[in-house]
Amino acid sequence: MKRRALVTGGNRGIGFAIAEGLATMGHDVLLGVRDLAAGEIAAGKIGAQVDIVELDVANPASLEKALPRIGNVDILVNNAGVLGEGDILHDVNGFKRSMSVMVEGPFMLMHHIVPSMVSSGYGRVVNVSSGWGAFSDGVSGPGAYGVAKAALNALTVATARNLPHSVKVNAMCPGWVRTRMGGMWAPRSAQEGADTALWLATLDYTGPTGGFFRDRTAINW
């Protein structure tokens, strides 16, 4: 069945690969992008199944403006992210930016979008996280990155616990991927990094919720 999906940060990297994968499956995809020109180029590369919406998840005014354009979606992929730098306790602006992009933005999108999923009896939320945000790996991300991803993981668990099984919320780690953030020496392609997100975005009713996955396998928080 054709679904409607929103992918944030969808004009490049893992987000682009996820959007392309969903479109290839036959779903209608909306790219949430800060740069409309870059979004138009990305949408053109993918094809007719894809449209764009100007959306900066860290900017409440941008989010509010985008909501009417977004409307009801069946699949939400919270992919937008920023990489921290330096000492977490000395980079106040970096901490605020990380939390607003990777925690507050996803929270607000879920706040606005998930109720319609509940009403329709179907929804899939995929939070693109990282092993750097796992307590089992020491929350080892640079700057506030790991802290924000750990908070996104916690948001995943808390949200899934309060939703019917028809609406699934999961987090995933794409691994080390060749993107602008991951660098050219990363061992994985964007498509390989996107695979688990695509799986989670299209789970059937019996699929998991409230979990953390890499390579379609549950991993430790």
Residues with a catalytic annotation lie at: 145
Using alpha carbons only, how large is the chain's radius of gyration in Å? 16
180-207: buried (b, 16+ CB within 10 Å) or exposed (e) per residue?
eebeeebebebebbbbbbbbbbbeeeee
Edge-first strand order for the sheet with 123-128 is 50-54, 28-33, 4-8, 75-78, 123-128, 167-172, 212-214, 217-218
- String of DSSP letters for 32-99: EES-HHHHHHHHHHH-TTEEEEE--TT-HHHHHHHHHHH---SEEEE-------S-GGG-HHHHHHHH
| 55 residue type, one letter | L
**Residues near 87 by Cβ (< 8 Å), separated by ≥ 6?**
143
The answer to whether residues 154 and 129 touch, using CB atoms and an 8 Å cutoff, is no
Q: Are strands 167-172 and 217-218 parallel, antiparallel or unpaired?
A: unpaired
Q: Dihedral of CA 196/202/207/210: which sign?
A: positive
